[in-house]
Structure 1
Amino acid sequence: MPKNKVLAVLYATLIGALFPACECGIVPIARRLVAKGVPLYAAIPFMLTGPIINPVVLFSTFIAFGSSLKMVLYRSGFALAVAILIGWVLAVQYKDDQLRKKEVISSSMSKTLKEKWMGTLEHSIDEFFSSGKYLIIGAFVASAMQTFVKTSTLMQLGQGKVSSSLIMMALAFVLSLCSEADAFIASSFQSTFSFSALTAFLVYGPMIDIKNTLMLLQSFKTRFVVLLIAYITVFVFVGSLLI
């Protein structure tokens, strides 16, 4: 990890391409990285880009939009730009880790192979029960929202350039789709919404939705999570208007 904050943010945003994890699975990873001493301004950009720029998601986007590279390039480039800006803002704004609970990470250097495997198993079980409950609650809330909030109503409201981006961002938050599949949903809206609104949908959803909001609130301080959501919302919205 580069010592220079600017370079560290750039490094963290790009390294997400090596981890094909969806947005609900990457929050615990980001939390553990912060607990291990990775700066907040590096862990968060990694968390934001990982579910978007990994090869699995980019390939699914390529297929969903008729084997066209245009959306792949816009989606990945837009996500990188938003994550980099947020990382730089966090580097200036926060000096501490903003974790809700301080974690003690023990060193595994002196442990035997069996102890390391047992530690990995115990850690996996802890993560499952710690994060899994919020994932289940988030999925339930998202399902309820999909049931009671009519998609047709949202589409009627999203006719202008400004409103269409806002509506698609709201839809991404409510649907809480995994980033490996959301491109196929977005492609079905091509005749209804603009390209910029679809791009906003594909960037905003993997960065923040109902499921990972609950998981973020479990991992980080509430004020930080609220500010992070605000930053993501503003940067994605403004960026979509510039496309």
Structure 2
Amino acid sequence: MNALHNIDLFAQAALSIVFEALPFLLLGSLASGLVEAYVPRERVERLVPKGRLAATFFGLALGAATPCCECGVVYLARRLMGKGVPPGAALAFMLAAPVINPVSILATLVAFRGDPTMAVWRCLVVSVAALAVGWFAGGQKAESLLKPLAGREPACGCGHDHVPGQAHGHADGHALAASPADGPAPLFGSLADALPVAALGPDRRQQAASALTHAMADFLDMAKVLVFGSMVAAAFKAYVPASVIMAMENDLALAIPGMMALAVGLSLCSQADAFVAASFSTFPQAAKLAFLALGPMLDLKLVLMWRQVFTPRLVRVLAWVPAAIVFVVCVALGLATGGAS
């Protein structure tokens, strides 16, 4: 009977994570496709500040204005880097956006009954970690941090992806039409013709087809990783004894790393995890902050997604730097407050 209960809990947890994350993954994929198809590289390069520190803060500001979940922001960050956004700005945006956007802040305020303390601390800790990673990446070239996407590597060396059968884009951001000798037509060509965009000119239709093609490819790449990561997180939730979790609540030395591990294992959405953290009412505030700050920056599904997009060296930086910063800040805060709950 207990085994059946665990299987039932595993299934519920896995499906819950997948269904919770899929809408945000879809939105992130669509945003990624739109950026690739409609945003000229030269315009992006003119918009972003040139200085290393200024570019990193620009990424942070962009994250504050972008309501998104960590599930859909990884490929969007990759597209921004391919469009000429400095790696420091793109990675600061990727780490910070899921937490410091208005939707996540509002969710945290609601979860903690209107008390702004946790929301403020959460934004501060995540911003510090995002700036640290952004500063590191700001001194690197995008090509040294990104892995080529299998089957979609650009042969032209321009640093961004092309639709199958699509020629290289001009400086104004519009792509040349492919000739029959260039290969098969874009995958979504027939769909673009069937949609209202068919009333637009050929260049507009081709851009719409390009956006849909890139969005679908990104969505499928990430969806399979999301499902696997959700299953691992569900197994963690279903088979780790509750007694182990409860043993941590009265010991700050166990509570902070324990809640960090729990955040990584549960892989919750950044716009829903505040309600889970608030449910640990007997845990110290510093431990709950560790859970809220680390989870959106580092969890099982994110690591799997990063491995699809970034080089192993950058994956290690993305994993260890935020974890170290969250641990140090939360321990200091816990000692300063005497482990208050």
Contact 2:95–2:297 under 8 Å retained in 1? yes
SS of the residue corresponding to residue 138 of structure 1 reads helix
**2:273 pairs with 1:199:** no
**1:61-107 deviation digits (Å, cap 9, x = unpaired):** 00000111111111111211121122223334x34441111553353
**2:237 pairs with 1:146:** yes
Aligned match of 1:90: 137
The one-letter amino acid of 1:218's match is Q
Contact 1:41–1:90 under 8 Å retained in 2? yes
The 2-side partners of 1:40 and 1:110 are apart by 24
Superposition pairs for residues 3-82 of structure 1, below 5 Å?
Answer: 3-82=50-129
State the aligned residue count. Answer: 241
The 2-side partners of 1:109 and 1:154 are apart by 55
SS of the residue corresponding to residue 147 of structure 2 reads coil
**2:287 pairs with 1:188:** no
The 1-side partners of 2:142 and 2:108 are apart by 36
Q: Which has the larger radius of gyration?
A: 2
Q: By how many angstroms is 1:44 displaced?
A: 1.0
**1:3-43 deviation digits (Å, cap 9, x = unpaired):** 11011111111210222111111111111112222222221
Aligned match of 2:316: 226
Larger fraction in helix: 1
Q: By how many angstroms is 1:195 displaced?
A: 0.9
Residue identity (%): 37
The 2-side partners of 1:70 and 1:86 are apart by 25
Aligned match of 2:269: 178
Provide the TM-score with structure 2 as the length reference.
0.67
Q: In structure 2, list runs of 5 or more residues that go unmatched.
A: 1-47, 155-159, 163-168, 177-202, 334-341
**1:122-171 deviation digits (Å, cap 9, x = unpaired):** 11111121111111111111111111122430331353323211111100
Q: By how many angstroms is 1:239 displaced?
A: 1.3
The 2-side partners of 1:72 and 1:228 are apart by 22
SS of the residue corresponding to residue 280 of structure 2 reads coil
The 1-side partners of 2:243 and 2:206 are apart by 55
Over aligned residue pairs, what C-alpha RMSD do you find?
1.7
Q: By how many angstroms is 1:110 displaced?
A: 5.1
Q: In structure 1, list runs of 5 or more residues that go unmatched.
A: none
**2:161 pairs with 1:105:** yes
Moved more, 51-60 or 147-156: 147-156
SS of the residue corresponding to residue 296 of structure 2 reads helix
SS of the residue corresponding to residue 30 of structure 1 reads helix
The one-letter amino acid of 1:220's match is F
Aligned match of 2:221: 130
Contact 2:81–2:142 under 8 Å retained in 1? no
